[in-house]
Amino acid sequence: MKRRDFLLGGLGVTAGIATVTSGSFAMGQMMSGGNDAYRPPLSLQDYALPALDEGTSIQGKQVFKLTLQAGESQLLPGLSTETIGINQNFLAPVLRFKKDQTVRMEVSNRLNETAALHWHGMILPATQDGGPHQAIKSGDDWVAEWKVINEPATYFYHSHTHNHTGEQVWRGLAGQMQIIDEDRDAELGIPHQYGVDDYPVIITDRAFDKSGALYYSNTRMQKMQGMQGNVILVNGVADSVLKPKKSLVRLRLHNASNARFYDLHFSDNRPFQLVATDGGMLEQPQTLNRIRLTPAERADIIVDLSDGKPVSLQNRKGYGNLNTGMMSNGALDTNFDIFHIEPSQAEKVPAFTTAQLIRLPNWFNAQGFNVDIATTRHLQLDMQMGPAMMFGSGGFFINEKAYELNTINEVAKANTYEVWELRNPSITHHPIHIHNTQFRIIDRNGRIPSAAESGLKDTVIVHSEETVRVLLPTGPYKDADNPYMYHCHIIEHEDAGMMGQFTVT
């Protein structure tokens, strides 16, 4: 089936949708500043459900065997692409486990290069975190083990290799983790059956050259806007169609792109319920008809498809670093489809009506803090526009320092609460990720954030000219020697130096 047939053919799609989606055809011709990105005509493919890995129970632990490997993938029709992945040639299985389990990740690096594998969002000992200090040399093995104390939600695992995170993630070293609680989901009426009514939607963008090779550029200009591509993949497949088995589905939206921001909505503007963000559920479902996701952010949404009508998840242009300041790039900042849903065969099930989900920790309210604040840290995100940026090796700083492997920038006390004030005077937006914690956003430029941002988070967008305060628990693990990272999750910014490290003692 050609995409035109899906958009215009006998599926009852209205002309209105076709008008909106026609923007995506223009993407085929667009280029980003000077690269020769290639996008062949694509035809619709089936939604790709990632392999599910729930581990093997061995002596009270959930054991996962993860092999980093290289291979060939067919990402574009008729062309072969060299990629890397985990237990597969491109991207990775979805890892599912439960709170209170001890997980043991046995990682084998069968790539011809050093790699590191980070468990994004997890609260765990620093030596198990998989940051740049836990590099795994080619041919070596590494084991990470921790007791799961995070809340059920959608998480991320990906390369975090010193200076090479961006290109390794781009080539495919990334996947989704899910902490699940099926009993609680059942009580709340939240879809939770993997591949039946609960679907990962891991969104990445990639650029290719005409031979089908992945195109990755590290020029100064590319670093500033981050590496973005003109082919949108969901779970590694472009232009796919999900045919859900039930009429009420949970989509685990996951921005696994290096740098691209998404402003997501459905083609018929239908509402959906946001039930969880990065690190756990919201207190109440939020009814929305659009949601923004910057790199590394996740959102679990519930969508009612009981009308049986096909619908597309789409990006609306106008959000992200491609339209700020001198970065303005109309070619890449455009409307396009993410993927399609065709629910005519879905079994009809009751609508989602739950009003109250959970209670969040009561760390603060409009009157002030309910916990003692051990420290307030001030972190300034800087992009130097002078010679250092254009000709030097750096230009990306936090508090005027580029990342150094052997510098501890901050020291926190275990089992305390801190306020981190993230200030962004630079010309682009920066999604900031802090390891080993799930925080809550206090305010943006002094204003209480939207209800959609009221839950547990590990990544927060700090827009240009914005100051965002977050309240974070430092966690139970003490280690004076081994640090955790905090950094911009536009991975090219991270690799270029917009990262620091802290210990918890």
Q: Report the interface residues with Cu ion, using CB under 5 A.
A: 430, 488, 490, 493
What backbone phi and psi angles, to 5 degrees, belong to 151? -80, 155
Instruction: Report the residue number, 241 or 422, with the smaller CB distance to Cu ion.
Output: 422
SS3 content of the chain, % helix, strand, coil (to 5): 10, 45, 45
Instruction: Report the residue number, 435 or 493, with the smaller CB distance to Cu ion.
Output: 493
Instruction: Report the residue number, 47 or 420, with the smaller CB distance to Cu ion.
Output: 420
Cα 5 to Cα 10, 12, 18, 243, 313, distances in angstroms:
7, 11, 11, 16, 17
Q: What is the DSSP string of 236-261?
A: TEESEEE--SBSEEEEEEEE--SS--
Instruction: In angstroms, give the least distance from the CB of 430 to Cu ion.
Output: 3
Instruction: Report the residue number, 286 or 501, with the smaller CB distance to Cu ion.
Output: 501
**Three-state helix/strand/coil letters over 317-328:** CCCCHHHCHHHC
Instruction: Report the residue number, 162 or 270, with the smaller CB distance to Cu ion.
Output: 162
Instruction: In angstroms, give the least distance from the CB of 492 to Cu ion.
Output: 8
Instruction: In angstroms, give the least distance from the CB of 488 to Cu ion.
Output: 3
Pairing of strands 311-315, 174-179: unpaired
Instruction: In angstroms, give the least distance from the CB of 429 to Cu ion.
Output: 7
Instruction: Report the residue number, 304 or 466, with the smaller CB distance to Cu ion.
Output: 466
Instruction: In angstroms, give the least distance from the CB of 493 to Cu ion.
Output: 3
Does residue 201 contact residue 252 with C-beta atoms inside 8 Å?
Answer: yes
Q: What is the DSSP string of 30-94?
A: ---TT--------B-EE--PPPEE--EEETTEEEEEEEEEEEEEEEETTEEEEEEEESSSSB-PE
Instruction: In angstroms, give the least distance from the CB of 491 to Cu ion.
Output: 9
Instruction: Report the residue number, 430 or 463, with the smaller CB distance to Cu ion.
Output: 430
Instruction: In angstroms, give the least distance from the CB of 490 to Cu ion.
Output: 4
The residue type of 443 is: D
Q: How far apart are CA 337 and CA 416, in angstroms?
A: 44
